[in-house]
Structure 1
Amino acid sequence: MFPLLAGGLAAQPARAASPPDSTFVRRSHRRAVFQIDQRFSIINGKVVGINGLRGGVEWRGRWRTGLGFYRLSGGLLTRQALPEGLPAGTRDEVRFRYVAGYGEYVFIGNRRWELSTPLQIGVGSYYTRFFFPDGHSERSSRRVLYLVEPSVGAHYRIFRWVGIGAGTGYRQVFASGQQPEDQISGYIFFARAKLFLGDLYKVFRGHERLLSQDWGEDE
């Protein structure tokens, strides 16, 4: 009886290994990531664009960190009153730019798509540019501002080397001195075009086709 039992057990095929978690792909190597990070925000009741570029490093497919540079696109009128002594017809516009370090955690995704929680902490300058009727311009003194931008983002990878993404969050601005008269704190919306420089390098070297949809195995 016991030999038959032992033989029966030995004849059974080995249990298949559990499939890997398909909701996330871990990578052992680091990769450089470059992003065009176009942001939109409501300032003084108007939707404005904030042009941004950022670059950083991704590791294990789940963590990213790096540095970004942003500037407010021109043409936004301020809310503050014109200083005394300026001629009639003077136009005043907000100027706002900052540099921010960012960290990003991908909490779910696979080779094609992901959801993440980016966080940016930065420092910038804020001032007003005055345009006079005679054609020349001057600016006010700069004020140093600090900001925190928590957000949630989604990303879709079109090919191995390029992807697009979008998200939303909130910008909270702090000042060490007088607070700005303009409403810079508020909700943000962003759109991204992301380049995976390592995979793009493989395309240039001829190791991958430019428009390949073959995802294969990540290194």
Structure 2
Amino acid sequence: MPNYLPILLLWLIGSAAAGQVIKKDSSAADKNERPSKPRFIAELDQRFFYFKDRRQPLFSNSTNVWGARAGLLWPSNIKTGIGFYYASHAVDGIWGGYQAIGRRLTYATVYVEPYFYRRRYWELSAPIEVGAGRVQYSFTHADQAQSRSSRSLIVPLTVGLSVSLKFPMLWGFKPLRWFGVNLITGYRYTLRDEVVSPQITLNGLYYSISPAIFLDRIYADYEIWRKKHRQRKGKR
């Protein structure tokens, strides 16, 4: 979290500096932004998973999960698309006389993300995902002389809540408004998986704090620039 304090501070300073602009155009700031047509979106989606383990406190440790999403943002303010996620980390559990020492998780998802609000300076949405993939466990025997691995199918279901803070445009510099900060939290329930022991599951809470790029704003600003460019070219 401390790594993102400069980004949050920049957003707060920018919002204060843009206060006069907001007051002059408060009606626009209170309206939802909507793309004029379906827009392609793509984003990195790094998350931190808490895997449910009855032997440890709920928030005792987190696992870094790397991911990415791509899809469409519709004029109805709903995002749909696909995602892919990967994680590899150490585990501790007994399965069939073997000691589990590692877990590799890979899965793909389809998602729908309806927006409750898409305002000028912030957004609120609820990403819902269902996926399929596999988990691979690595094992070693107590005498360290034998090792093996085991793979199984997983079907995760994830429901979350996402908040995005958008940087305001300062001193007429539009590119600044293309960026912001995104915060997501939610719960992951695995519809099907084979676990090391009944005490350890793939279920659990997750969260994400990351920079955000708003491609729909880049599209909109480009269309405005292209329209003005054509008008100037036509007058020559």
Query: TM-score by structure 1 length?
Result: 0.69
Give how far 1:59 is off. 1.5
Give how far 1:196 is off. 3.4
Structure 1 counterpart of 2:93, one-letter code: R
The corresponding residue for 2:192 is: 175
2:49 pairs with 1:41: yes
Identity %: 25
DSSP-derived class of the 1:141 partner: strand
- Higher share of residues assigned helix: 2
1:62 to 74, 77, 96: 77
Deviations 1:141-172 (A, max 9, x none): 31001011011110112333333201211000
C-alpha distance in 1 between matches for 2:202 and 2:72: 29
In 1, are the aligned partners of 2:104 and 2:137 still within 8 Å (CA)?
A: yes
Give how far 1:127 is off. 1.4
In 1, are the aligned partners of 2:102 and 2:139 still within 8 Å (CA)?
A: yes
Q: Which moved more, 1:23-32 or 1:164-173?
A: 23-32
1:76 to 74, 77, 90: 90
DSSP-derived class of the 2:67 partner: strand
2:134 pairs with 1:120: no
Deviations 1:52-93 (A, max 9, x none): 111111012611011111012x33223234745xxxxx7711
Question: What is the aligned length?
Answer: 181
Note the aligned Cα RMSD (angstroms): 3.4
The corresponding residue for 1:191 is: 209
Is the alpha carbon distance of 1:153 and 1:119 closer, same or farther for their aligned partners in structure 2, counting shifts above 3 Å? same
Is the alpha carbon distance of 1:75 and 1:179 closer, same or farther for their aligned partners in structure 2, counting shifts above 3 Å? closer
Give how far 1:25 is off. 2.1
The corresponding residue for 1:26 is: 34
Q: Which moved more, 1:190-199 or 1:110-119?
A: 190-199
2:169 pairs with 1:155: no
Is the alpha carbon distance of 1:191 and 1:82 closer, same or farther for their aligned partners in structure 2, counting shifts above 3 Å? farther
In 2, are the aligned partners of 1:99 and 1:123 still within 8 Å (CA)?
A: yes
Give how far 1:26 is off. 2.6
DSSP-derived class of the 1:114 partner: strand
Give how far 1:109 is off. 3.0
For the pair shown, the structure with the greater C-alpha radius of gyration is 1
In 1, are the aligned partners of 2:89 and 2:104 still within 8 Å (CA)?
A: no
1:107 to 116, 128, 132: 116
C-alpha distance in 2 between matches for 1:150 and 1:27: 25
- Higher share of residues assigned strand: 1
DSSP-derived class of the 1:140 partner: strand
Structure 1 counterpart of 2:179, one-letter code: V
C-alpha distance in 1 between matches for 2:156 and 2:147: 26
- Structure 1 segments unaligned to the other structure (5+ residues): 1-18, 85-89, 209-219
Give how far 1:130 is off. 4.0
Structure 2 counterpart of 1:155, one-letter code: S
In 2, are the aligned partners of 1:37 and 1:54 still within 8 Å (CA)?
A: yes
Query: TM-score by structure 2 length?
Result: 0.64
DSSP-derived class of the 2:126 partner: strand
Give how far 1:124 is off. 1.4
- Structure 2 segments unaligned to the other structure (5+ residues): 1-26, 168-175, 227-236
